[in-house]
Amino acid sequence: MTESILEAAVVANHELFLRTNDRLTATLAEQGLTQATAHALWVIDPAEAPPTMKELADRLHCNAPNLSFVMNQLTSRGLVERSADPADRRSRLVALTDDGRRVRSVVIEAALALSPFARLDTDDLLHLVSLLGKALELAAAPA
């Protein structure tokens, strides 16, 4: 009973994610990005201090070698730049270039416009964000 409600929620969340990604395919291709590179670009907020590779790997739920691979692509496309962290020279700080900021904006705008969520009204959206946020908080809390 509650079980099937939970399953409906998990399935709907999954489906919404897949559908958004599907619709974004064309935009990503236009920008010369793949899902992996686009996601990496997304999680680098130009308004915040440049994150380290380790921090980015956490955000992307991927491992270090994978991130190096993705960052090499973004670097060769001229969208990000790596520099040594003055505070810990083992670390690399990753910052968006001007081009990177531009492309990131394009991707995010497209994703928001294409997401099925875009059709919800503000009340529903606020409620939805509240519920999703609650789930994420509870997930972080101790068992």
Partner DNA sequence: CGTTTTTACTTCGAGACTTGAAGTTGTTAC
Partner DNA sequence: GTAACAACTTCAAGTCTCGAAGTAAAAACG
115 binds a copy of itself (CB under 8 A): yes
Contacts of 35 (CB under 8 A, 6+ apart): 21, 28
Question: Taking a C-beta distance cutoff of 8 angstroms, is the pair 22, 115 a contact?
Answer: no
**Stretch of 29-37, 75-83, 87-95, 132-140 contacting a copy of itself, by CB under 8 A:** 132-140
Binder among 2, 47, 63, 65 for a copy of itself (CB under 8 A):
2
Binder among 32, 46, 78, 116 for a copy of itself (CB under 8 A):
116
Burial degree of 134 (CB within 10 A; 0-12, 13-18, 19+): exposed
124 binds, among a copy of itself, DNA, none (CB under 5 to 8 A by kind): a copy of itself
CB of 31 to DNA, least distance (A): 12
Of 60, 59, 107, give the one whose Cα is nearest residue 79. 107
Burial degree of 86 (CB within 10 A; 0-12, 13-18, 19+): exposed
CB of 71 to DNA, least distance (A): 6
User: Bridge-partner residues for 80, per DSSP?
Assistant: 96
Catalog residues that contact DNA under the rule CB under 7 A. 34-37, 52-54, 57, 62-73, 82, 85, 88-92
Block residue for tokens 């994150």? 51
**Stretch of 29-37, 49-57, 64-72, 104-112 contacting a copy of itself, by CB under 8 A:** 104-112
Interface positions with a copy of itself (CB under 8 A): 2-3, 5-10, 12-22, 61, 108, 111-112, 115-120, 122, 124-129, 131-136, 138-139
